[in-house]
């Protein structure tokens, strides 16, 4: 995180007050969401994409590495979940682990090739690899179903030995995903505040310095990318369950762009929760504005441009700036670091 | 025994020879000054010592162990710490966290994802110690980028100290400091002397001549003069080239 937690005891906590409040609010969603004209499935999507965006932000926000092909790992997770269930064993836990493992493996593979790069070169290589995976997904018709998708994926029951929960109903599945989301957010929060997370954040600020302090920068970059890919894949597995299918479109370049947009709009560069804010806005805008006009992406695109121009730290940044009454100078400095992340210091 | 030794180090960038053949041997506890005009290759020589640049020829020995061509993190782990001519602190981190990153015990835990970094009292105590050593005891919670220039320089040294290095390489530590800052730094180095082996690139003659045990002058990629400050002041070459003026 660029926003420092030095004076806050939250950094040392496993579960923070913010988390508790968020979980509790989310737990009430099925009680009222239909009353405001929306539906529980939107809640499911928001939670899954939030987990995905938080995982993505390990790479973008914490490590400062511009990965623009992250949809690949989300998609690979979805396919791995489906194929595990259809071809190997129809067990929820095994298939979710398979989703994370296969996506993580793909992440390791890619990371081995790109982790000596930074900046725009890094970005290009993530795109190239993303396109390769996307093409493979479309072309391997016999395995993935090609453009038709991998169909007939089931929402396997959540089996805890003594009790087993049926997840076919959207509200039941929502609560399952919420439980996973709660564990996931606590784990990711701990991760970014662990010694490992601090090293990765240090590497974002200066690879040269980190290496001269004795940190194997390359290895940390490989590891954070792989971890991020694994959690993205895990979220992808949940997404396959939600959709009852896996499709190649989440792996496409433009859908990989969505998660970047969500994360930046929300303020992932300055706040742990930024990606969640971004996902919430993006998906609600899609449904609410999308119900009125087909051109909802136009409006979200305009919001994106406005934020990049005027609030490069995203909504979380604007909120924290309002709260802490940061000086303009500090804000501007942070926004230049956001810009540098994307366009500068490549080698 | 020599704590750090370089033998016939040769570095080329493309067809540009930056270091022709540089030898250096620094005894344990010695403070060795390095001077020379801009572009002489001093920083490049440090980059060789610390693994940033692999020499085309020549060797680097740390306490007798060949460390030539090892990557920076390996060399750092073996005990060579450095400060930078152009400061590269972790700007978003507090001063204390900058120091914490230098602690060998923190580095050993660098792959730990299950514990909170902030909760560990040992790290905090060690960090505070290093901060106090450079006079930043009460500035630990300030973000590095909000510190004054002089404090940032001091923080760089605190980070290097936190590494508990065997050899400390300082690249122009006084650059940009006012006379106050230089004096404080001189006092700090005087306290560290003997406890640490120090190699310092420095343009400030007064600073160097008052502190260094020996000084090497690098020019055109070679050591053109070497000796105690006293000897160097007598050195015909140094006097003729009037190095003090254009350094
Ligand atoms: N990575 C590099 N690639 C090409 N040339 C370099 C590189 N690093 C340094 N140089 C050149 O080597 C020469 C010596 O630089 P440097 O070691 O920084 O000198 P000093 O520290 O003595 O002022 C300069 O001409 C510089 O431009
Ligand atoms: Mg230099």
Average pLDDT over residues A249-261: 94
Give φ, ψ of A103 to 5 degrees.
-65, -40
Asked whether residue B197 is domain-assigned, the answer is yes
Q: Do residue B15 and residue B59 come from a single domain?
A: yes
Q: How far is the CA of B39 from the centre of ligand 1 (A)?
A: 6
From the CB of B48, is ligand 1 less than 6 Å away?
Answer: no
> What local confidence, expressed as pLDDT, does residue B1 receive?
81
Give the pLDDT confidence of A311-326 residue by residue, as tens digits: 888 888 888 777 776 5
> What local confidence, expressed as pLDDT, does residue A331 receive?
55
Q: Do residue B73 and residue B16 come from a single domain?
A: yes
CB-based contact A313:A267 (threshold 8 Å): yes
**DSSP one-letter code for A250:** G
Is B118–A12 a contact, with Cβ atoms under 8 angstroms apart?
A: yes
Give the pLDDT confidence of B200-213 residue by residue, as tens digits: 999 888 899 999 99
Please tell me if residue A183 touches chain B, with a CB cutoff of 8 Å.
Answer: no
> What local confidence, expressed as pLDDT, does residue B49 receive?
97
Q: Which of B164, B191, B217 is the C-terminal boundary of a domain?
A: B164
CB-based contact A70:A236 (threshold 8 Å): no
Residues of chain B with pLDDT under 50: 244, 246-247
* Atom 27 (ligand 1) nearest CA: B39
Rounded distance between C-alpha atoms, residue B32 and residue B198, angstroms = 6
Which pLDDT band, with edges at 50, 70 and 90, does A328 fall under?
A: low
Q: Crossing angle for the helix pair A274-292 and A314-324, nearest 10 degrees?
A: 120
Q: Do residue B108 and residue B227 come from a single domain?
A: no
| C-alpha dihedral (B77, B80, B84, B90), degrees to nearest 10 | 30
Asked whether residue B242 is domain-assigned, the answer is yes
> What local confidence, expressed as pLDDT, does residue A334 receive?
58
> What local confidence, expressed as pLDDT, does residue B118 receive?
85
> What local confidence, expressed as pLDDT, does residue A344 receive?
47
Q: How far is the CA of B212 from the centre of ligand 2 (A)?
A: 18
Domain hosting residue B148, numbered range: 91-164
The domain that holds B237 is classified in CATH as 3.40.50.300
Q: What percent of chain A has pLDDT over 70?
A: 91
Asked whether residue B133 is domain-assigned, the answer is yes
| Chain A partners within 8 Å of B71 (Cβ) | 211, 216
> What local confidence, expressed as pLDDT, does residue B234 receive?
80
Q: Do residue B98 and residue B115 come from a single domain?
A: yes
| C-alpha dihedral (B85, B91, B94, B99), degrees to nearest 10 | -30
Rounded distance between C-alpha atoms, residue B125 and residue B110, angstroms = 18
**Beta pairing class for B2-13 and B222-227:** unpaired
Q: Do residue B75 and residue B174 come from a single domain?
A: yes
Is A194–B117 a contact, with Cβ atoms under 8 angstroms apart?
A: yes
Q: Do residue B65 and residue B175 come from a single domain?
A: yes
> What local confidence, expressed as pLDDT, does residue B30 receive?
96
Q: Do residue B5 and residue B116 come from a single domain?
A: no
Spell A42-73 as b/e; 16+ CB within 10 A means b.
Answer: bbbbbbbbbbbbbbbbbbbbbbbbbbbbbbbb
Q: Do residue B135 and residue B22 come from a single domain?
A: no
Q: Do residue B130 and residue B154 come from a single domain?
A: yes
Tokens read off for B176: 């940009």
Which pLDDT band, with edges at 50, 70 and 90, does A161 fall under?
A: confident
Rounded distance between C-alpha atoms, residue A208 and residue A200, angstroms = 13
Prediction ipTM score: 0.93
Please tell me if residue A202 touches chain B, with a CB cutoff of 8 Å.
Answer: yes
Q: Which of B164, B195, B213 is the C-terminal boundary of a domain?
A: B164
Task: Among B10, B11, B12, B13, say which to mutate for ligand 1: greatest number of ligand atoms within 8 Å of CB.
Answer: B13
Q: Which residue of B has its CA nearest to A11?
A: B118
Q: Do residue B68 and residue B179 come from a single domain?
A: yes
Which pLDDT band, with edges at 50, 70 and 90, does A330 fall under?
A: low
Is A193–B145 a contact, with Cβ atoms under 8 angstroms apart?
A: no
> What local confidence, expressed as pLDDT, does residue A345 receive?
43
Q: Is A41 exposed, middle or buried (0-12, 13-18, 19+ CB in 10 A)?
A: middle
| Mean of the per-residue pLDDT values of chain A | 90
> What local confidence, expressed as pLDDT, does residue A312 receive?
82
> What local confidence, expressed as pLDDT, does residue A341 receive?
56
Q: Dump strand ranges (E) for A135-292.
A: 158-159, 164-165
Q: Flag whether pLDDT at A336 surpasses 60.
A: no
Q: Flag whether pLDDT at A335 surpasses 90.
A: no
Give the pLDDT confidence of A42-60 residue by residue, as tens digits: 999 999 999 999 999 999 9
Q: H-helix or E-strand containing B56?
A: none
Rounded distance between C-alpha atoms, residue B225 and residue B227, angstroms = 7
SS3 A74: helix
Give the pLDDT confidence of B184-201 residue by residue, as tens digits: 899 999 988 888 999 999
Q: Do residue B1 and residue B26 come from a single domain?
A: yes
Q: Do residue B6 and residue B103 come from a single domain?
A: no
SS3 A203: helix
Asked whether residue B85 is domain-assigned, the answer is no
Rounded distance between C-alpha atoms, residue B67 and residue A201, angstroms = 28
Average pLDDT over residues A148-171: 92
Q: Flag whether pLDDT at A327 surpasses 60.
A: no
Asked whether residue B134 is domain-assigned, the answer is yes
* Atom 5 (ligand 1) nearest CA: B13
Give the pLDDT confidence of A211-243 residue by residue, as tens digits: 999 999 999 999 999 999 999 999 999 999 999
Please tell me if residue A333 touches chain B, with a CB cutoff of 8 Å.
Answer: yes
Q: Tally the domains of chain B.
A: 2
Q: Which of B138, B164, B190 is the C-terminal boundary of a domain?
A: B164
Please tell me if residue A205 touches chain B, with a CB cutoff of 8 Å.
Answer: yes
């Amino acid at each position: 995180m660029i926003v420092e937690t030095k004076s806050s005891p939250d950094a040392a906590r496993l579960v923070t007050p913010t988390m508790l409040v968020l979980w509790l609010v989310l737990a009430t969603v099925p009680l009222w969401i239909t009353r405001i004209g929306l539906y529980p499935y939107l809640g499911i999507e928001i939670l899954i994409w939030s987990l995905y965006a938080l995982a993505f932000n390990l790479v973008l926000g914490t490590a400062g590495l511009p990965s623009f092909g992250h949809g690949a790992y989300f998609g690979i997770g979805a396919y791995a979940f489906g194929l595990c269930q259809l071809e190997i064993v129809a067990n929820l836990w095994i298939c979710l682990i398979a989703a994370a493992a296969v996506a993580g493996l793909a992440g390791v593979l890619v990371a081995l090739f790109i982790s000596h790069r930074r900046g725009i070169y890094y970005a290009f290589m993530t795109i190239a690899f993303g396109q390769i995976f996307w093409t493979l997904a479309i072309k391997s018709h016999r395995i993935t179903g090609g453009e038709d998708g991998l169909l007939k994926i089931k929402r396997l029951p959540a089996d805890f030995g003594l009790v087993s929960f049926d997840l076919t109903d959207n509200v039941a599945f929502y609560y399952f995903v919420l439980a996973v989301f709660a564990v996931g957010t606590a784990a990711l929060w701990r991760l970014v505040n662990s010694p490992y997370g601090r090293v990765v954040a240090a590497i974002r600020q200066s690879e040269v310095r980190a290496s001269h302090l004795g940190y194997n920068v390359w290895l940390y970059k490989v590891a954070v990318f792989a971890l991020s890919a694994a959690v993205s894949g895990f979220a992808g597995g949940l997404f396959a369950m939600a959709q009852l299918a896996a499709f190649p479109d989440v792996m496409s370049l433009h859908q990989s762009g969505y998660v970047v947009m969500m994360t930046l709009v929300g303020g992932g560069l300055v706040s742990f929760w930024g990606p969640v804010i971004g996902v919430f806005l993006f998906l609600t805008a899609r449904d609410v504005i999308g119900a009125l006009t087909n051109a909802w992406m136009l409006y979200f695109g305009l919001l994106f441009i406005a934020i990049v121009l005027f609030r490069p730290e995203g909504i979380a940044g604007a909120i924290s700036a309002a709260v802490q009454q940061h000086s303009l100078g500090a804000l501007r400095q942070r926004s230049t670091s956001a810009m540098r992340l994307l366009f500068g210091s490549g080698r | 025994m020599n704590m750090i030794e370089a033998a016939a180090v040769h570095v080329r960038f493309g067809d540009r020879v930056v270091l022709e053949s540089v030898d250096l041997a620094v005894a344990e506890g010695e403070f060795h000054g390095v001077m020379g005009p801009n572009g002489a290759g001093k920083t490049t020589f440090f980059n060789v010592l610390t693994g940033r640049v692999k020499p085309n020829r020549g060797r680097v020995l740390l306490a007798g162990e060949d460390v030539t061509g090892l990557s920076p993190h390996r060399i750092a782990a073996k005990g060579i710490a450095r400060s930078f001519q152009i400061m590269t602190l972790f700007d978003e981190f507090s001063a204390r966290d900058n120091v914490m990153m230098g602690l060998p015990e923190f580095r050993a835990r660098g792959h730990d994802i299950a514990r909170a970094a902030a909760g560990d009292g040992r790290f905090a105590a060690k960090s505070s110690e290093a901060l106090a050593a450079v006079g930043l005891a009460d500035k630990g919670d300030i973000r590095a980028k909000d510190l004054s220039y002089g404090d940032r320089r001091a923080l760089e040294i605190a980070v290097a100290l936190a590494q508990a290095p065997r050899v400390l390489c300082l690249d122009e530590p006084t650059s940009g400091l006012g006379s106050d800052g230089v004096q404080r730094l001189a006092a700090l180095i005087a306290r560290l002397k003997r406890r640490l082996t120090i190699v310092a690139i420095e343009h400030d003659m007064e600073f160097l001549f008052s502190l260094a045990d020996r000084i090497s002058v690098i020019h055109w990629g070679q050591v053109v003069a070497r000796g105690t400050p006293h000897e160097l002041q007598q050195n015909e070459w140094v006097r003729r080239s009037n190095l003090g003026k254009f350094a």
